[in-house]
Structure 1
Amino acid sequence: MQVYKVGGAVRDRLLGLPVTDVDRVVVGATTEEMLAQGFRPVGADFPVFLHPKTGEEYALARTERKSGRGYGGFTFYASPEVTLEEDLIRRDLTINAMAEDDQLNLTDPYHGQRDLEARILRHVSPAFAEDPLRVLRVARFAARYAGLGFTVADETMDLMRQLSESGELQALTAERSWKEISRALMEDHPQVFIQVLRDCGALKELMPEVDALFGVPQPETHHPEIDTGLHTLSVLEQSSLHKQPLTVRWACLLHDLGKGLTPEEEWPRHIAHEYTGLKLIKAVNERFKVPKDCQELALLVGQYHTHGHRALELKASTLLELLQSFDIYRRPQRFEEFIAACEMDARGRKGLEQRSYPQADYLRGAAKAAREVAVQPLLEQGFKGPELGEALKRERLKALKAYKEAATA
């Protein structure tokens, strides 16, 4: 029995990056031998075991062959006869197909170290094209390592294009797709993930609503970059530079979907795109079974982001409606995330990345003014039920009028 570290642990050590996840492959062992040593089996599809003391994963060396559609359409074969090289060849990229033993002796049959040095993301074998999930994975690695200068090999991009055109991407489950999308959006360069998907034709298959934004012009006065798709990439980039959470990054990706529906004769204006885009945001949310907090923020940002930009011009009554829509009294964090998304939208414009965004503090101040209206005096005056709600609304409106007058004086 021989044990090797494989995949990301080897790749990141060679890149001089922190090693977070360690995967191990076991060559020359049977399931029975693993169980006899106290390893605990996990996973129904192929033999993976947890170490009896550390809880780390150990997988038996295995081969695989295509047996159906999608990510799960594979038959696995594990046996003591399966070699390390046979196990590594089934992996996606050469930089993930290296192994090392405890003495750090490297096994690199597919030249992953060479591709690391050349900063190339290259597939290991033609079998790459059998697994549609690899399109998303490669785009995610491109987003992770873009800052180090990594690019996708032309021949790998060709295979990704073939996969995108084959219809195989439609066989991916919502859960698997979202797992890759959400991880990619949290990488250092999430805009690269979207760009690579677009370059290989996958964006059109997975998120046609986002793909439709490219080539759609906006008024140059507000958007020096003009192209709505490029603006979306810039907003995503800003969300990463400012270390925003997944909820904000997801909202940034979808906030302008309505502009993809504007008739060409109305370009470059996009009247009411905030409302026309809501059905598209809902569709994307449902397609990937997106978590509720991401869904809700994306819809709210889509509907109200222009309110955020015009915050200082809004009437006190409109400001109150905005605050009520976010339920700022019970869910203050969601409003903070809305403000963040609006600021990323404002900064995601060519040449305006460093421009200040006074609307952020103004909106925070408005929320504070509304929250500080006390309920107790109204109860003491005898208000209750619906009447109490109306009285509270009147007092909050009064507070916002006073706040607006003082803040804009």
Structure 2
Amino acid sequence: MRVYLVGGAVRDQLLGHPYHEKDYVVVGATPEQLIAQGYMPVGKDFPVFLHPETKDEYALARTERKSGHGYHGFEFYTAPSVTLEDDLIRRDLTINAIAMDDDGNIYDPYNGQTDLKQKILRHVSDAFAEDPLRVLRVARFAARYAAYGFSVAEETVALMRQLAESGELQALTAERVWKETARALMENHANVYFEVLRSCGALKILFPEIDALYGVPQRPEYHPEIDCGIHTMMSLQQACKAGYSLDVRFAVLVHDLGKALTPVDELPRHIMHEERGIAPVTEVCDRLRVPTNTKQLALAVCKEHLKCHQAFTLKAGTVWRLLQRLDVLRRPERVEAFVQACECDARGRLGLEERAYPQAQYLLDVMQKVRSIKASDLPSDVKGPDIGEMLIQKRIEAIAHLKHELGYHSHTA
């Protein structure tokens, strides 16, 4: 029985990239031998075991054969006779098909180290095209390692395009697509994920609402980058740069979906794009089974982001109603996330990436002010329904006072 560290831990160790999980492959063993040593079986489709102490995953060396559609359409074979090379060749990329033994010796039968040095994401074998999930994985790796200068090999893009055209991507479950996308969104260059998917034709299949933004023009005086798709990716990169949450990043990704629905005779203006965006944002969220909180913020940003940009010109009552819709009294964190997403939208424009966005701090100051006004602050003779009415009145007055203090006197909402 021989044990090797494989996959991401070896790749990232060689690259000098931080890693946390360790996966091992076991050659020359049976499930019974591992169980006898205290390993706990957890794999449903093939034998995977947890180490009795470290809880790291140990998988028996295996081969696989395509037997159906989609991510689960495979038959696996494990036996003591399956070699390390047999196991590594079924992996997706050469940089993921490197193994290391306990003594630190590297086993690299498919030249993964060369591709690491040349910063290339390349498939190990033509069996790559049998698994549609690999299209998303390659795009995610491209996002993760973009800062190192990695790119996808042309022949690998060709196989990804083949998968996209085959209809296999439709076999992916919503859960798998969302899981890979959520992980990609948390990378420092999440925009690369969507750009790679677009380059192989997968974006229009998995995210047609985002793909539709490309080629749609905007007014150059407001959007020097002009193209709605480019603006979306620039905005997303702002969210990554700031280290914002998954919810904020997703909201930024879908905030302008309504612009793809603007009638051609209205272009490059996008009147009512916020309202038009509600349906496609809802469609994306429902199709991918996006978590409820993530969906709620995305819808709020889609519908209300222009009001955030216009915050200084809104009447105090309008600002209060905006904050009410964002559930300011019960969920201040949603207001913070909303403001962050709107800031990314404002800065996701060519030449305006470092532009100040004072609206953000203004709305956060307003939020603190209205949340500080309590029923206990009202006169004791105010009773029943009058309490709620007076609280609203006091909060609107406080917003107006704060706005005046800051020097924003316009009421052209």
TM-score (norm 2): 0.97
SS of the equivalent of 1:58 reads: strand
In 2, the alpha carbon distance for the partners of 1:16 and 1:399 equals 53
- 1:381 Cα deviation from its structure 2 partner: 2.2
Structure 2 letter corresponding to 1:152: V
In 2, the alpha carbon distance for the partners of 1:29 and 1:14 equals 28
Contiguous gaps of at least 5 residues in structure 1: none
In structure 2, the residue matched to 1:405 is 404
Structure 2 letter corresponding to 1:142: A
- What does 1:186-335 correspond to in 2, within 5 Å? 186-335=186-335
In 1, the alpha carbon distance for the partners of 2:17 and 2:159 equals 29
Are 1:350 and 2:380 matched, yes or no?
no
- 1:67 Cα deviation from its structure 2 partner: 1.3
Structure 2 letter corresponding to 1:338: F
In 2, the alpha carbon distance for the partners of 1:56 and 1:209 equals 39
In 2, the alpha carbon distance for the partners of 1:14 and 1:132 equals 27
In 1, the alpha carbon distance for the partners of 2:108 and 2:368 equals 59
- What does 1:96-245 correspond to in 2, within 5 Å? 96-245=96-245
- 1:398 Cα deviation from its structure 2 partner: 1.7
SS of the equivalent of 1:380 reads: coil
- 1:388 Cα deviation from its structure 2 partner: 2.8
In structure 1, the residue matched to 2:390 is 391
- 1:48 Cα deviation from its structure 2 partner: 0.5
Using the TM superposition, name which of 233-242 and 396-405 deviates more: 396-405
Contact 2:207 2:284 in 1 (8 A): yes
- 1:69 Cα deviation from its structure 2 partner: 1.1
User: Structure 1 residue runs of 4+, over 3 Å off?
Assistant: none
TM-score (norm 1): 0.98
- 1:394 Cα deviation from its structure 2 partner: 1.8
- 1:387 Cα deviation from its structure 2 partner: 3.7
Structure 2 letter corresponding to 1:403: L
Using the TM superposition, name which of 208-217 and 389-398 deviates more: 389-398
Contact 1:383 1:391 in 2 (8 A): no
Contiguous gaps of at least 5 residues in structure 2: none
Are 1:340 and 2:331 matched, yes or no?
no
Structure 2 letter corresponding to 1:400: I
Question: Would you say how many aligned residue pairs link Structure 1 and Structure 2?
Answer: 408
- 1:382 Cα deviation from its structure 2 partner: 3.6
- 1:403 Cα deviation from its structure 2 partner: 1.8
Structure 2 letter corresponding to 1:47: P
Query: Sequence identity of aligned pairs in percent?
Result: 59
- 1:188 Cα deviation from its structure 2 partner: 1.2
Using the TM superposition, name which of 131-140 and 18-27 deviates more: 18-27
- 1:7 Cα deviation from its structure 2 partner: 0.5
In 2, the alpha carbon distance for the partners of 1:38 and 1:121 equals 37
- What does 1:74-89 correspond to in 2, within 5 Å? 74-89=74-89
Root-mean-square deviation (CA), in Å?
A: 1.1
- 1:377 Cα deviation from its structure 2 partner: 4.1
Deviations, residues 80-124 of structure 1 (Å, cap 9, x unaligned): 111110100110000000111011111111110111111100001
SS of the equivalent of 1:55 reads: coil
